[in-house]
Amino acid sequence: MSISFKDRVAIVTGAGGGLGKEYALELARRGAKVVVNDLGGSRDGTGTSDAAAEVVAEIEAMGGEAMANGASVTEFSQMEEMVAKAKEKWGGVHVLINNAGVLRDKSFAKMSPEDFEFVVRVHLLGSAYATKACWDTFRDQAYGRILMTSSSTGLFGNFGQANYGAAKLGLAGLTKTLHLEGAKYNIRCNSLSPVAGTRMTQDIFPEQAFELFGPENVVPAALFLVSEDSPTNAIVGAGAGGFHSAWVMMNDAVWLKEEDRTVEGFAANWDKISEQSNLIAPQSGAEQSGAILKAMQQVLGADAAPSSTRG
Ligand code: NAI
């Protein structure tokens, strides 16, 4: 079964190089009309260049259709203009890959509030703004595919990347609510945690790993996650040829009787409360309160809990 993007209009942010460029090229090869967004800055987000126009030239040279866009994802009005131009030229927008990103790594002790804010602004707010600019169009069309770019740092942590990790887990959180709000409009939203040899990782990866983790290896996961038959609410990891899924999980709740509901009572039950058995991956926040009520019913009996709660 071949997966086509014919007649689809796709926006890829930060597509002037690295992973975004690979996504844009493959989307175009598969028939999509592609908005190549990139302000063309350096790794820390300073400066600008013609990176987007160069990728557009490559797409056109292979017979594809693309439009360069040099806007910054941090400017909501520029994101709105980008979407308006795509709709004017091609009549809609169907796919959004939020990929633009910067790094300002330092240990938290040495990180300035400005560098914390800047990184959160580009990754988290930038993705929210680009998505917001597409959202009404997706709803009106009853079709939208959104990919957020998370990271192992966001999901699991990494020394020296507090700003980046906060933003990246924020994107997984944004995915979870947009997937719920978009469901009835056929809008699907997933998160990708890539590992790739790009300028972002060139001084972190040893040379051999850099080659092994070529960004083209992430493309199959990224494109499937924005295809017509994509899942929704998935968190997928991809790099070098390895692929996996990740979940936010919780265990069964432990119900403490009133007399045990003290700091000492909590401490005495910590081993049970932090037990990694019976893990489930809730599909919405309400499942947390549901799990608490279930634990309560098991201790106090079926009549003890109200029939529903909100998380
Ligand atoms: P990259 O530095 O080659 O690509 C990022 C692109 O975003 C650059 O072309 C840059 O000019 C653009 N950009 C930065 N700020 C922008 C803004 N305000 N508006 C528009 N464009 C902007 O790096 P790479 O590796 O291709 O990263 C792509 C995404 O994947 C990023 O979100 C990154 O955090 C994420 N990621 C990458 C990993 C890796 O191993 N390379 C690991 C985990 C996540």
| 3-state DSSP helix/strand/coil % of the chain, to nearest 5 | 45, 15, 40
ipTM value greater than 0.95: yes
127 Cβ neighbours under 8 A, 6+ residues apart = 13, 73, 98, 100, 148, 149, 171, 174
Going from the Cα of 198 to the center of ligand 1, the distance in angstroms, rounded, reads: 9
pTM: 0.96
Number of alpha helices (DSSP H) and beta strands (DSSP E) in the chain:
12, 8
* pLDDT at position 301: 85
In sequence order, what are the beta bridge partners of 12? 36, 97
Domains annotated on the chain, with CATH: 9-246 (3.40.50.720), 258-304 (no CATH)
Cβ atoms < 10 Å from Cβ of 19: 26
Cβ atoms < 10 Å from Cβ of 300: 12
Whether 164 is catalytic? yes
Residue 42 alpha carbon, nearest atom of ligand 1: 11
Residue 41 alpha carbon, nearest atom of ligand 1: 11
pLDDT tens for the chain, 311 residues: list them. 899 999 999 999 999 999 999 999 999 999 999 999 999 999 999 999 999 999 999 999 999 999 999 999 999 999 999 999 999 999 999 999 999 999 999 999 999 999 999 999 999 999 999 999 999 999 999 999 999 999 999 999 999 999 999 999 999 999 999 999 999 999 999 999 999 999 999 888 888 889 999 999 999 999 999 999 999 999 999 999 999 999 999 999 999 999 999 999 999 999 999 999 999 999 999 999 999 999 999 998 866 656 554 44
Instruction: Tell me which of 38, 42, 158 to substitute to probe ligand 1's pocket, judged by most ligand atoms within 8 Å of the beta carbon.
Output: 38
* pLDDT at position 207: 86
